[in-house]
Amino acid sequence: MTTITRFAPSPTGRLHVGNIRTALHNWMLARKNFGKFLLRIDDTDAERSKEEYVDAIRADLAWLGIEPDGEERQSLRLDRYEAAFEKLKAAGHVYPAYETAQELELKRKIQLGRGKPPIYDRAALKLTDEDRAAKEAEGISPHWRFKLDHEEIIDWEDGVRGPQKFDAAQLSDPVIRRADGSWLYMLPSAVDDIEMGITDVLRGEDHVSNTAVQKQMFDALHAVGLDHDTCPVHDACPHFAHEALLVGREGKLSKRLGSLGCDAFRERGIEPDAIIALLARLGTSLPVEPIRDRQELLNSFDLETFGRAPAKFDDTELDRINTAMVHQMDYSEVKDRLPEGMGEDAWHAIRPNLETVGGAQDYWKIVTGPIELPEFSDEDREYLAQAAQVLDFSGDDPWHALTGALKEKTGRKGKALFLPLRQALTGQNSGPDMGELLPVLGEDVARRRLERAAG
C-alpha cells in the first residue's frame, strides 16, 4: 500500500516552528517510503479562517521546500461530513445533547471536587423524545456527541510511543458538531483520512487521547460503509505516531511561537535548509548537523529514533546550524542576494566570516568604502607609508608578497606586522582573510588607503 501522509493546518494564523516540524516529518515519512504527502486546509471554522493565512501556509511550505503532492480544503467538503454524520446518526453512533457550556463546566467542577475524572455523564442519553422536543421548543438547539463504546479497551501500536491502551469508559463522548451546525475537529478529520486514503498520521503527543476516540470513530465510519464507495483500497485505520512536543530552554514555547515563524526566520536571515536540518532530527537520537542534502536526511529518517522526552528548540543551535550552512554555500546560490557589484572572489573572501547571507552587505562596505580609520602612532604611520611603497600586485598573492617584504624591511612580525595593515585597509581589527580580500580591494584602492593611513 502506498504511504500517504497529510499536514492539516487551520488557517487561523501563520505557521510556527511546531507546525513546521509536523509538516516536515510527515513530508519525510512520505518521501522516505516513496509515497504521497498531502496538504489539507482545515478551514471549517469560517469565522476564524482567513484566506491570507491559506496563502501564507502555501508560501511558507514552498520557501522551506516542503512540497505537497496534492491539496484539499475542508470548506469544500462539507457535504461529505454531512453524509457521514447522517449515516452515523442512523446507526445510533451520535446523539444530541442540550447542556450549555456553563452547565458542563459546573458538572466538571463537581466531578473534580469529588476526586473523579471529569467525564461527561451522558445525561443527554436519558432524555426522552418529549424532553428533547421541549428543549427545542424553548429554542435550545442541540450539539452532537459521538457515542463511544464503553465496553472496549482501545489499543494500538504507536510509531513513537509504543503500545498504547485506553479504557473507553474513561473517555468523554466527544462533541463533533456545535449547536449552530458547524463542525469540530474530530469527525471531518476522520472522514478525510478515510476518503483520502491516509495511511499514516504523525502528529504531536497532545493528540494521543484524540486518537483513542478517533479509532472508534474510524471503526464506526467503516461499519456504515463510508470507505467502500470512496476508497476501496483503504479499509483500515491509519498507523498513528505521536511525537514529543517542542519546548524552549526555559520551558514551553507557547508564548514565543508567534516569533518563531517563517517571517521571523527570514527576517533573521535564517536559511530554509538550516531550519530543515535542525527540525528533521530535533527530538531524535540522531545528531543535529548542518546537512544540506535532503536525501541524506531522508535516508536517516526513522520513527524508531524519536524519543519520548520533550524536544528542546534552541535559537542558538539554529544560528549555529545556519552559520555552518552559509559557509557551505557557493556563489551561484547566493549571487542574486548579494550587494550589487559583489563577485565570486569577494564572496569567497568574506563567506567564512558570515553568520547570514545578508551580513555580506556590511562586509561589502569594507570594499566599497569609505572606511573609518583608527588613530595610528607615528611609528605605525611610517610603517604604513613603507607598505604603500612596496605594495606589489604583479604576482598571484599580493598580501603575502606585501607582508613578506615588510617583515624583511622592518623586522616586524606577528600582530605588529599584520594589524596596522588590516586596520589601514579595512578599518577593522579583524575580519576576512586578507590574502583573499586584498585582491578584491585592488591595487589602486589598497595603495590609496595605505597612503591615507600614513598621513
pLDDT digits 0-9 by tens, 141-178: 999 999 999 999 999 999 999 999 999 999 999 999 99
pTM for this entry: 0.90
CB environment 61-92: b (16+ within 10 A), e (fewer)? beebebebeeebebeebeebbeebbebbeeee
| pLDDT value at residue 413 | 93
- Write the CA distances from 361 to 61, 190, 438, 441, integer angstroms: 27, 51, 18, 15
- When divided into structural domains, the chain yields a total of 2
Residue 390 sits in the same domain as residue 450: yes
The DSSP 8-state label assigned to residue 211 in this structure reads: H
C-alpha cell at 55: 496563502
Residue 438 lies in a domain: yes
Domain end among 343, 368, 393: 368
Residue 450 lies in a domain: yes
The angle formed by the CA atoms of residues 207, 213 and 215, to the nearest 5 degrees, is 100
**Domain containing 344: what range?**
332-368
Mean pLDDT across the stretch 16-30? 96
Binding site residue list for ATP: 255
State percent of the chain over pLDDT 90.
90
Binding site residue list: 255
| pLDDT value at residue 248 | 81
Q: With contact defined as beta carbons under 8 Å apart, do 234 and 197 qualify?
A: yes
Q: With contact defined as beta carbons under 8 Å apart, do 244 and 308 qualify?
A: yes
Question: Could you give the CA distance from residue 143 to residue 398 in angstroms, rounded to a whole number?
Answer: 81
For the beta sheet containing 143-146, the strands, ordered from the edge strand earlier in sequence to the opposite edge, are: 94-97, 143-146, 175-177
pLDDT digits (tens, 9 = 90+) for 261-282: 899 999 999 999 999 999 999 9
State percent of the chain over pLDDT 70.
96
Asked whether residue 130 carries a pLDDT value surpassing 80, the answer given is yes
Q: Tell which residue, 248, 312, 323, has the closest CA to residue 279.
A: 312
CATH of the domain at 389: 1.10.10.350
Asked whether residue 55 carries a pLDDT value surpassing 90, the answer given is yes
Residue 440 lies in a domain: yes
Average pLDDT value over all residues in the chain:
94
- Write the CA distances from 207 to 63, 212, 240, 252, integer angstroms: 28, 9, 10, 17
* Helix (H/G/I), strand (E/B), else coil: 98: coil
